[in-house]
Amino acid sequence: MTDTFTVSGQVFLRDGAPHQIISGAVHYFRIPRALWEDRLRRLLAMGANTVETYVAWNFHAPHAGAAPDFTAGADLGAYIDLAGELGLDVIVRPGPYICAEWDLGGFPSWLLTDDAAAGALRTSDPAYLAHVDEWFDVLIPIIAERQLTRGGPVIAVQAENEYGSYGNDAAYLRAMADGLRARGIDVLLFTSDGPEPLMLAGGTVPGLLATANFGSRQAEAFAELARARPDQPGMCMEFWNGWFDHWGARHHTRDAASAAEELAGMLADGRSVNFYMAHGGTNFGVWAGANCHDAEDAGAGPGYQPTITSYDYDAPIAEDGALTAKFEAFRDVIAAHTGRTPPAPPSAPVRLAPRTVEVQASLDLGAVLDGVPTVSAPTPRSFERLGIHHGVVRYVTTVPSTTPPIPAADLHLDGLADLATVMVNGALVGRLGRTQADPAYGPAGDGLRIELDQPVNTIEITVTSLGRVNFGRHLRDPKGLAAVRFSHQHLFGWEHAGLDLTTLPELDWSAAEPTTAVGLEPVTGAGVHRAELDLTEVGDGYLALPGWREGYVFLNGFNLGRYWNAAGPQRTLYAPAPCWRVGSNELVVVEFSGAGDSIEIRQDADLG
Ligand code: GLA
């Protein structure tokens, strides 16, 4: 008999028998491929029978024009197959929007260069749907051929994500569901939403299973779901047993006992569950998203809040795979409920011995940008329009002096996203930011008083990007500058030089200063620094950058993510064993505002 997964009244049936889904969210795009199996085995060891993953569109297609990548760490098919081989059922949530504290909620940033689509994200507007169709034509067959109905492990697929928290375009949700069916998805289709009437009204689709997302008060949540959908199985698609962190804000944890109590209640009541997250992993590279609740939102929110690099989430399986007290509590609840003893977990990961590595060569960031081809335009261009997904762009313009001389006035950076360092005639005049997580950056709305007293005045604005908003009405979040004004006058005529830091850019180290970073003493503190280290065996490490302020660290070419000591709460970057090599290893630090001179490898994470 072939495997089956069906719905009968208020229960799921697996191979004809009543079945509770005990699933955990584990995102392949937040874990180095070499660790996929380890993490899935830990999930099995907690007692789960299913793994759930989103698909992050932009991870496969970061730049416009290139065919989506499904190789190496982006090999979604291999991840699903591996889960199936290990005995897990698989739930896929292909978006196209996923939220997930992921840059732009998973949308590729280049979508923002198509004005019609960018103005109609998550709606049935054909300008937007055309992009989704093109993507789904490539993506969905990879999932379809791995469905249970075709001998694979995929038992269910989600349409969109928590749509009721965003909009009410029923034709859009219908198009998502129809688009999945038309491309061969014949397993269970579902939606997931907050357990509230407004959200369920906006986010559910007739004929699709409705599931709910919450972290506590499970009985009330399921009662609310049942009011909307009385005759279907109850499933919590996101059981928030932990939470994520923002730069400049406090680190979140969730008590294991309270989470285990909710879990026990759900299982006893016959519900199905997906832990969000079972294992969070890491927002490596430039992939962390952001939230934005500004003063116009109800309750005058904190404004733009970029998400940190770690996605530990205080989940039962920690960022580095460590099994926490929450893991043990969940495993015990599941074992008691199912009467099954789960398999043993893999052994604990090896850790690198602690050490300090000195910087051996440094480049001034300005000099690196001098070597990049420039783009000229009357108006300052967005990163997206320049083809830069994330990184740094230097905007330069010149203003001649006049007679009589121009009085000093304020320079305004309109639409700044996200951090700017401003130099006039080679002198640092100030820094502005869209977030006040780092006190070095003043509020973006403030102007900077400048004087244009030279025969020809050069204004240089170096902008670095942080995560794009992934939730709510500020989703459309282009990076760079929208306009620059001196007093009320727009300044036109810009030269752009940028570095895309999605992956390590090519760097010419022959011009490097053989001094330490501190010895370089650049005006702005922005530089690129290199250190080498030999290892006789690999293991997990946690990189700390004492004395450094903010930037990215690349290990053997792989972007480990952003560090931001000046903001916190995260103080170390996870550098997993598969990123290291026996023999020589290269660390490259791209620092934006104040370098240190060494990098520490520690044995423990410090998330604040
Ligand atoms: C929502 C989204 C998820 C995630 C969580 C918070 O439920 O659906 O993608 O953003 O919030 O972690």
Please state whether beta strands 272-279 and 235-240 pair in parallel, antiparallel, or not at all (unpaired).
parallel
Q: How far is the CA of 458 from the centre of ligand 1 (A)?
A: 44
Does the fold of domain 355-360+504-602 match that of domain 5-338? no
Q: How far is the CA of 311 from the centre of ligand 1 (A)?
A: 12
pLDDT at 515 over 70: no
Q: How far is the CA of 106 from the centre of ligand 1 (A)?
A: 12
Angle at 185 between CA 237 and CA 52, to 5 degrees: 30
| pLDDT number for residue 524 | 87
Nearest Cα residue to 51 out of 388, 277, 322? 277
| pLDDT number for residue 523 | 79
Question: Per-residue confidence at 299, pLDDT binned at 50, 70, 90?
Answer: low
The residue-averaged pLDDT of 357-375 equals 95
Q: Is the CB–ligand 1 distance for residue 52 below 6 Å?
A: no
The residue-averaged pLDDT of 327-335 equals 98
Domain ranges of the chain: 5-338, 355-360+504-602, 379-492
Residues 6+ apart with CB under 8 A from 242: 252, 253, 254, 259, 277, 280, 312, 313, 314, 315, 326
Q: How far apart are CA 19 and CA 21, in angstroms?
A: 6
- List Cα–Cα distances, 516 to 290, 366, 572, in angstroms: 34, 17, 21
| pLDDT number for residue 297 | 64
pLDDT at 601 over 50: yes
Q: Is the CB–ligand 1 distance for residue 213 below 6 Å?
A: yes
pLDDT at 156 over 50: yes
Residues 6+ apart with CB under 8 A from 59: 29, 74, 106, 287
Q: CB of 212 within 8 A of CB of 237? A: yes
The residue-averaged pLDDT of 395-405 equals 93
The residue-averaged pLDDT of 21-36 equals 99
Q: Kindly report, residue by residue over 492-509, the tens digit of the pLDDT.
A: 999 999 999 999 999 999
| pLDDT number for residue 239 | 99
Strands (E), 338-488: 355-358, 361-364, 375-377, 391-400, 409-414, 419-424, 427-433, 442-443, 448-450, 456-464, 483-486
Q: Is the CB–ligand 1 distance for residue 245 below 6 Å?
A: no
| pLDDT number for residue 542 | 98
Q: Is the CB–ligand 1 distance for residue 244 below 6 Å?
A: yes
Question: Per-residue confidence at 300, pLDDT binned at 50, 70, 90?
Answer: low
Question: Per-residue confidence at 593, pLDDT binned at 50, 70, 90?
Answer: very high
Pick the CATH number of 5-338 from 3.20.20.80, 3.30.1050.10, 3.30.450.20, 3.90.550.10: 3.20.20.80
The residue-averaged pLDDT of 85-95 equals 98
| pLDDT number for residue 471 | 98
Dihedral sign for Cα 149, 150, 152, 158, please: negative
Q: How far apart are CA 274 and CA 290, in angstroms?
A: 23
Q: Whose CA is nearest to atom 3 of ligand 1?
A: 100
Among 16-25, 74-83, 203-212, 505-514, name the one with the lowest average pLDDT.
505-514
Q: Whose CA is nearest to atom 5 of ligand 1?
A: 100
Q: CB of 109 within 8 A of CB of 383? A: yes
Tell me yes or no: is domain 379-492 CATH 3.50.50.60. no
Structure tokens at 422: 């401003």
Nearest Cα residue to 383 out of 500, 232, 263, 250? 500
Angle at 180 between CA 175 and CA 186, to 5 degrees: 135
Q: What percent of the chain has pLDDT over 70?
A: 97
The residue-averaged pLDDT of 531-560 equals 98
Q: Is the CB–ligand 1 distance for residue 232 below 6 Å?
A: no
| pLDDT number for residue 519 | 45
Q: Kindly report, residue by residue over 185-239, the tens digit of the pLDDT.
A: 999 999 999 999 999 999 999 999 999 999 999 999 999 999 999 999 999 999 9
Structure tokens at 303: 């404004």
Q: How far is the CA of 572 from the centre of ligand 1 (A)?
A: 24
In the 8-state DSSP scheme, what is residue 387? T
pTM: 0.98
Q: How far apart are CA 563 and CA 606, in angstroms?
A: 12
pLDDT at 342 over 70: yes
Question: Per-residue confidence at 518, pLDDT binned at 50, 70, 90?
Answer: very low
| pLDDT number for residue 295 | 67
Question: Per-residue confidence at 301, pLDDT binned at 50, 70, 90?
Answer: confident
- List Cα–Cα distances, 11 to 24, 303, 317, 348, 523, in angstroms: 19, 43, 29, 37, 66
* Mutational test site, ligand 1, from 213, 245, 277, max ligand atoms within 8 Å of CB: 213
Among 138-147, 261-270, 511-520, 560-569, name the one with the lowest average pLDDT.
511-520
pLDDT at 95 over 90: yes
Q: Kindly report, residue by residue over 134-145, the tens digit of the pLDDT.
A: 999 999 999 999
Residues 6+ apart with CB under 8 A from 226: 234
Question: Per-residue confidence at 512, pLDDT binned at 50, 70, 90?
Answer: confident
What's the chain's average pLDDT?
96
DSSP per position, 199-232: HHHHH--TTSEEEEEESS-HHHHHHHHHHH-TTS
Which residues form the catalytic set?
162, 238
Pick the CATH number of 355-360+504-602 from 2.60.120.260, 3.30.565.10, 3.30.70.580, 1.20.1730.10: 2.60.120.260
